[in-house]
């Protein structure tokens, strides 16, 4: 087979065409596999220190594949705390271990033990935490959740930090 020598401009042109084709193919593949990213807006309830009441902070989060996963993502955002001047309602280092939803519209949210261990305590502090969790879930999932049950460390707990009985499910309520 004879050896053919191509000119430099011809080789550069071929390389540019190859790069463009590979780049376009890669772009198509990336978009095909990644699929469209779905986002949703949720309202998370934190404390307004000046007015001493719960206030909604809107946040955009990922859209999950199902309701239970979406509930967990929402509570995970609540645990992260506010991004504005509002005050957090859930202690640092707390995590959401699991979320369950029963057929009667009760959401069970299982928090790590840090919810109790790191909670500042007091009747008002516990009421704020409970109200924040309950209102965040019932207002973002009105069709699915009518009440919320708080679990700690995979078990039913009597209180968060010794004041408010959490051994039952809570319906939404406002702090006055």
- Residue 59 covered by a domain: yes
Q: pLDDT confidence of 49, banded at 50, 70, 90?
A: confident
Q: pLDDT confidence of 52, banded at 50, 70, 90?
A: confident
Q: pLDDT confidence of 33, banded at 50, 70, 90?
A: very low
Mean pLDDT within 101-115: 98
Q: pLDDT confidence of 157, banded at 50, 70, 90?
A: very high
- Residue 98 covered by a domain: yes
- Residue 108 covered by a domain: yes
- Predicted confidence at residue 12, as pLDDT, reads 53
Number of domains in the chain: 1
Mean pLDDT within 30-44: 69
For 81-99, the pLDDT digits (tens) are 999 999 999 999 999 999 9
The chain-wide mean pLDDT, for the chain, equals 85
- Residue 11 covered by a domain: no
Q: pLDDT confidence of 139, banded at 50, 70, 90?
A: very high
Domain coverage including residue 128: 39-156
Question: What would the 3-class secondary structure string for the chain be?
Answer: CCCCCCCHHHHHHHHHHHHHHHHHHHHHHHHHHHCCCCEEEEEEEEEECCCCEEEEEEEEEECCCCHHHHHHHHHHHHHHCCCCCCECCCCCCCCEEEEEECCCCEEEEEECCHHHHCCCCCHHHHHHHHHHHHHHHHHHCCCCCCEEEEEECCEECCCCCCCCCCCCCECCCCCC
Q: Report the percentage of the chain scoring pLDDT > 90.
A: 74
CATH number at residue 89: 3.30.300
- Residue 53 covered by a domain: yes
- Residue 20 covered by a domain: no
- Residue 106 covered by a domain: yes
Please tell me the distance from the alpha carbon of residue 130 to that of residue 166, in angstroms, as a whole number: 8
Q: pLDDT confidence of 31, banded at 50, 70, 90?
A: very low
- Predicted confidence at residue 18, as pLDDT, reads 47
- Residue 124 covered by a domain: yes
pTM over the 0.85 mark: no
- Predicted confidence at residue 37, as pLDDT, reads 66
């Amino acid at each position: 087979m004879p050896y053919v020598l191509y000119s430099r401009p011809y080789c550069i042109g071929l390389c540019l065409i190859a790069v463009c084709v590979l780049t376009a193919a890669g772009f198509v593949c990336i978009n095909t596999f990644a699929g469209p990213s779905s986002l949703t807006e949720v309202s998370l309830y934190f404390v307004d220190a000046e007015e001493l009441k719960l206030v909604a902070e809107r946040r955009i989060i990922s859209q999950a594949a199902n309701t239970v996963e979406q509930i967990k993502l929402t509570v995970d955002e609540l645990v992260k705390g506010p991004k504005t001047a509002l005050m957090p309602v859930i202690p640092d280092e707390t995590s959401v271990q699991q979320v369950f939803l029963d057929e009667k519209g009760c959401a069970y949210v299982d928090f790590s033990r840090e919810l109790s261990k790191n909670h500042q305590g007091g009747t008002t502090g516990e009421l704020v935490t409970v109200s924040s969790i309950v209102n965040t879930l019932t207002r973002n999932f009105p069709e699915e959740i009518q009440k919320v049950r708080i679990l700690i460390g995979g078990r039913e707990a009597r209180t968060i930090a010794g004041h408010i009985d959490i051994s039952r499910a809570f319906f939404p309520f406002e702090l006055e």
